[in-house]
Structure 1
Amino acid sequence: MQQERSNFTNKLGFVLAAAGSAVGLGNIWRFPYLAAKYGGGTFLLIYLILAVTFGFSLMIAEIAIGRKTGLSAIGAFQSLDKRFGFLGILASAVPIIIFPYYSVIGGWVLKYFAVFISGNMTTSAADDYFPSFISGAFEPLGWFALFLGATAIIVLFGVEKGIEKVSKILMPLLVVLTLFVAVYGLTIDGAMDGLAYYLKPHMADVSAKTILAAMGQLFYSMSLAMGIMITYGSYMKKDNNLESSVRQIEIFDTGVAFLAGLMIIPAVFAFSGGDRSQLSAGPGLMFMTLPKVFNSMKFGGVVGTLFFILVFFAALTSAISLMETIVSIFMDKLHWQRRGTCIFVFVLALIMGIPSSLGFGPLSFISWMGMSVLDIMDFVSNSVLMPIVAFFTCIFVGFILKPKTVADEVKEGGAKFGAEKMFTVVIKWIAPIFLVLILASSIASALGLFTI
Structure 2
Amino acid sequence: MTDLHKDSSPNGGNGQSRGKFTSSGFIFAAIGSAVGLGNMWKFPYITGLYGGAAFFFLFIICLLAVGLPVLLAELAVGRGGRGNASSSYYRLSGSKLWGGLGFLSVLGPFVILSFYAIVAGWTLHYAVISFTGKLFENADFGVRFGGFIGSWMIVFWQFVVMLLTGWIVWLGVSSGIERFNKILIPGLVILLLVMVVRVLTLEGAGEGVSFFLRPDFSKLTAESALVALGHAFFSLSLGMGAMMTYGSYVDRRQSLGAATLAIGFGDLLYAFLAGLIIFPTTAVFGLEASQGPGLVFVALPAAFSAMPLGALFGGLFFLLLAFASLTSTVSLLEVPVAFASDTFGWNRRTSVIIVTLLCFLVGLPSSFSVGGLYSGLSFGGKSFFDWMDFVASNILLPICGLVVTLFAGYVWKGAAEEAGLNAWWFKVWLFMLRFVAPLLVLLVFLYSAGLLPD
What TM-score comes out, normalization by structure 1 length?
A: 0.93
Aligned counterpart in structure 2 of residue 315 of structure 1, from 321, 325, 345: 325
- Distance in 1 (alpha carbons) for counterparts of 2:32 and 2:138: 28
After superposition, the CA RMSD in angstroms is 1.7
Q: Judge which range, 83-92 or 139-148, deviates more.
A: 83-92
In structure 2, the residue matched to 1:2 is: 10
| Matches for 1:165-204 after TM superposition, within 5 Å | 165-204=179-218
Any idea what SS the aligned residue of 2:449 has? Answer: helix
Aligned counterpart in structure 2 of residue 290 of structure 1, from 300, 303, 315: 300
Whether 1:110 and 2:121 are equivalent positions in the alignment is no
* CA shift for structure 1 position 417: 7.1
| Matches for 1:146-157 after TM superposition, within 5 Å | 146-157=160-171
Aligned counterpart in structure 2 of residue 36 of structure 1, from 48, 56, 63: 48
Whether the 8 Å CA contact 2:67–2:236 is kept in 1: the answer is yes
Whether the 8 Å CA contact 2:80–2:92 is kept in 1: the answer is no
Whether the 8 Å CA contact 1:330–1:336 is kept in 2: the answer is yes
- Distance in 2 (alpha carbons) for counterparts of 1:444 and 1:346: 32
* CA shift for structure 1 position 219: 3.3
Which amino acid letter does the alignment assign opposite residue 36 of structure 2?
A: G
- Distance in 2 (alpha carbons) for counterparts of 1:308 and 1:124: 18
Aligned counterpart in structure 1 of residue 222 of structure 2, from 208, 214, 237: 208
Which amino acid letter does the alignment assign opposite residue 442 of structure 1?
A: S
In structure 1, the residue matched to 2:448 is: 442
Whether the 8 Å CA contact 1:355–1:373 is kept in 2: the answer is yes
Whether 1:130 and 2:145 are equivalent positions in the alignment is yes
In structure 1, the residue matched to 2:4 is: none
- Listed one character per residue, the Cα deviations across residues 370-423 of structure 1 (whole Å, up to 9, x for unaligned) are 222111111100111111111122222222225xx2221022xxx757732331
Any idea what SS the aligned residue of 1:280 has? Answer: coil
Aligned counterpart in structure 1 of residue 271 of structure 2, from 245, 254, 257: 257
- Listed one character per residue, the Cα deviations across residues 29-77 of structure 1 (whole Å, up to 9, x for unaligned) are 2222221222111111011111122111001000000001100111011
In structure 2, the residue matched to 1:363 is: 374
Change (3 A) 1:283 1:263: same
Whether the 8 Å CA contact 1:185–1:266 is kept in 2: the answer is yes
Whether the 8 Å CA contact 1:57–1:426 is kept in 2: the answer is yes
- Distance in 1 (alpha carbons) for counterparts of 2:254 and 2:19: 11
Structure whose residues are more often helix by fraction: 1
Any idea what SS the aligned residue of 1:444 has? Answer: coil
* CA shift for structure 1 position 124: 6.5
In structure 2, the residue matched to 1:378 is: 389
Whether 1:352 and 2:362 are equivalent positions in the alignment is yes
Whether 1:94 and 2:100 are equivalent positions in the alignment is no
In structure 2, the residue matched to 1:59 is: 71
* CA shift for structure 1 position 283: 1.7
| Matches for 1:318-329 after TM superposition, within 5 Å | 318-329=328-339
Any idea what SS the aligned residue of 1:426 has? Answer: helix
Whether the 8 Å CA contact 1:116–1:305 is kept in 2: the answer is yes
Whether 1:406 and 2:421 are equivalent positions in the alignment is no
* CA shift for structure 1 position 164: 0.3
Change (3 A) 1:219 1:352: farther
Whether 1:427 and 2:433 are equivalent positions in the alignment is yes
Whether the 8 Å CA contact 1:7–1:160 is kept in 2: the answer is yes
Which amino acid letter does the alignment assign opposite residue 70 of structure 1?
A: R
Whether the 8 Å CA contact 2:226–2:444 is kept in 1: the answer is yes
* CA shift for structure 1 position 189: 2.1
Change (3 A) 1:219 1:130: farther
Whether the 8 Å CA contact 1:182–1:264 is kept in 2: the answer is no
Which amino acid letter does the alignment assign opposite residue 325 of structure 2?
A: A
What TM-score comes out, normalization by structure 2 length?
A: 0.93
Whether the 8 Å CA contact 2:114–2:363 is kept in 1: the answer is yes
Where do 5+ consecutive residues of structure 1 fail to align?
none
Which amino acid letter does the alignment assign opposite residue 167 of structure 1?
A: N
Change (3 A) 1:121 1:236: same
- Distance in 2 (alpha carbons) for counterparts of 1:324 and 1:351: 17
Whether the 8 Å CA contact 1:67–1:230 is kept in 2: the answer is yes
Which amino acid letter does the alignment assign opposite residue 448 of structure 2?
A: S
Whether the 8 Å CA contact 2:21–2:249 is kept in 1: the answer is no
- Distance in 2 (alpha carbons) for counterparts of 1:333 and 1:91: 15
* CA shift for structure 1 position 190: 2.0
- Distance in 1 (alpha carbons) for counterparts of 2:132 and 2:341: 41
Whether the 8 Å CA contact 1:243–1:417 is kept in 2: the answer is no
In structure 1, the residue matched to 2:172 is: 158
- Distance in 2 (alpha carbons) for counterparts of 1:125 and 1:217: 34
- Distance in 2 (alpha carbons) for counterparts of 1:374 and 1:67: 34
Whether 1:24 and 2:52 are equivalent positions in the alignment is no
Whether the 8 Å CA contact 2:145–2:298 is kept in 1: the answer is yes
Whether the 8 Å CA contact 1:279–1:285 is kept in 2: the answer is yes
- Distance in 2 (alpha carbons) for counterparts of 1:308 and 1:10: 30
Whether the 8 Å CA contact 2:54–2:217 is kept in 1: the answer is yes
* CA shift for structure 1 position 365: 2.9
In structure 2, the residue matched to 1:230 is: 244
Which amino acid letter does the alignment assign opposite residue 148 of structure 2?
A: F
Whether 1:337 and 2:351 are equivalent positions in the alignment is no
- Distance in 1 (alpha carbons) for counterparts of 2:349 and 2:281: 44
* CA shift for structure 1 position 9: 4.1
Whether the 8 Å CA contact 1:8–1:164 is kept in 2: the answer is no
* CA shift for structure 1 position 10: 1.9
Whether the 8 Å CA contact 2:399–2:445 is kept in 1: the answer is yes
* CA shift for structure 1 position 366: 2.7
Whether the 8 Å CA contact 1:6–1:160 is kept in 2: the answer is no
- Distance in 1 (alpha carbons) for counterparts of 2:292 and 2:139: 17
Any idea what SS the aligned residue of 2:245 has? Answer: helix
Q: Judge which range, 417-426 or 392-401, deviates more.
A: 417-426
Identity value in percent:
36
